[in-house]
């Protein structure tokens, strides 16, 4: 998982606003690091709401390298048909649930984009990971948020590493999206521990890398 994060743990300026505004303040060396990282992975995943708000491309542009398969969980197949991820600059898989209306699925497929139904009412993320491995030969996947997807992926223990690009700002706001959304935990036994393995500067930005240790893991 890789995210750009403010000192107060936020991923964007305020609820509903694009993280691209914050990303403008990232050092170019860090943008290069982000794109080098994308190029090292077989697939990249963001939640459908990030697509709605940021209209991300998720391609490798600042370095030489192959863009990874873009994977977007979107239970009802209701992202805009004009979304940049449905363009032809990299392959894309939209993962939808069985509830997704067939005409939406057909319209996405007509754009040359793959659609897979995984899960009954919501995309079944563990099943999606198995499908990616088996049918798309994906050995490594990078998650680029947002907080709802981050929480679900952590909840299913599907994240093994977290890399943070620290942006020296405070934006505040109790409902401003932070690194992980979802449900709070009930007790300290449920805390997910992180083990710092690297910290370094990319240009003027501090970057930290952690291994994820789920409850019960040493
Ligand atoms: N700074 C950064 O690094 C960074 C990176 C990415 C995003 N962001 C920011 O994060 C914000 C958006 O975050 P968000 O939390 O609202 O949305 P999100 O995590 O991008 O997307 C969540 C959506 O994904 C869909 N989804 C489908 N199956 C799912 C599943 N099994 N588990 C989880 N989600 C599933 C759901 O929508 P459906 O009901 O349509 O299926 C869900 O609402 C934006 O402001 C964006 O700018 C920041």
Instruction: Please give the chain's pLDDT, 218 residues, in tens.
Output: 999 999 999 999 999 999 999 999 999 999 999 999 999 999 999 999 999 999 999 999 999 999 999 999 999 999 999 999 999 999 999 999 999 999 999 999 999 999 999 999 999 999 999 999 999 999 999 999 999 999 999 999 999 999 999 999 999 999 999 999 999 999 999 999 999 999 999 999 999 999 999 999 86
Using a cut of 0.85, tell me whether the model's pTM lies above it. Answer: yes
Place of tokens 């794109």: 35
- Ligand 1 within 6 A of CB of 30: no
- Ligand 1 within 6 A of CB of 46: yes
* DSSP symbols for 105-171: HHHHHTTT-EEEE-SSSS--HHHHHHHHHHHH----EEE---HHHHHHHHHTT---EEEEEEES---
Q: Are 172 and 195 in contact (CB under 8 A)?
A: no
The pLDDT of residue 218: 66
- Ligand 1 within 6 A of CB of 19: yes
**Beta pairing, strands 161-167 & 205-213:** antiparallel
**Closest atom, ligand 1, to C-alpha of 122:** 28
CATH superfamily placement of domain 2-213: Dihydrofolate Reductase, subunit A (3.40.430.10)
The pLDDT of residue 169: 97
Burial class of residue 30, CB neighbours in 10 A (0-12, 13-18, 19+): buried
Q: Could you tell me if residue 69 is left (phi over 0), alpha (psi between -120 and 50 degrees) or otherwise beta?
A: beta
Residue closest by Cα to atom 9 of ligand 1: 146
- Ligand 1 within 6 A of CB of 100: no
Residue closest by Cα to atom 16 of ligand 1: 49
Q: 211: which strand partners?
A: 161, 195
**Cβ-based neighbours of 134, under 8 Å, separated by 6 or more:** none
- Ligand 1 within 6 A of CB of 97: no
The pLDDT of residue 217: 85
> Mutation test of ligand 1: which of 48, 164, 179, 181 has the most ligand atoms closer than 8 Å to its C-beta?
48
Q: How remote is the CA of residue 39 from the centroid of ligand 1, in Å?
A: 22
């Amino acid at each position: 998982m890789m995210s750009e994060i403010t000192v107060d743990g936020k991923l964007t300026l305020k609820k509903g606003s694009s993280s691209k505004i914050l990303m403008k303040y990232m050092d170019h060396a860090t943008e290069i690091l982000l794109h080098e990282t994308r190029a090292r992975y077989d697939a990249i995943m963001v939640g459908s709401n990030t697509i709605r708000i940021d209209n991300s491309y998720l391609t490798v542009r600042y370095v030489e390298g192959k863009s990874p398969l873009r994977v977007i969980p979107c239970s009802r197949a209701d992202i805009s048909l004009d979304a940049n991820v449905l363009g032809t600059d990299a392959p894309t898989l939209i993962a939808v649930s069985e509830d997704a209306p067939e005409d939406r699925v057909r319209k996405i497929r007509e754009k040359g984009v793959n659609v897979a139904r995984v899960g009954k009412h919501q995309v079944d993320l563990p099943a999606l990971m198995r499908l990616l491995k088996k049918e798309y030969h994906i050995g490594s996947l990078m998650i680029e948020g947002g907080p709802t997807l981050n929480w679900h992926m952590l909840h299913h223990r599907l994240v093994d590493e977290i890399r943070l690009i620290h942006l020296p700002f405070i934006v505040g706001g109790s409902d401003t999206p932070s690194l992980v959304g979802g449900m709070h935990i009930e007790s300290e036994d449920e805390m997910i521990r992180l083990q710092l393995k690297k910290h370094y500067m990319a240009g003027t930005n501090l970057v930290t890398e952690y291994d994820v240790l789920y409850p019960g893991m040493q």
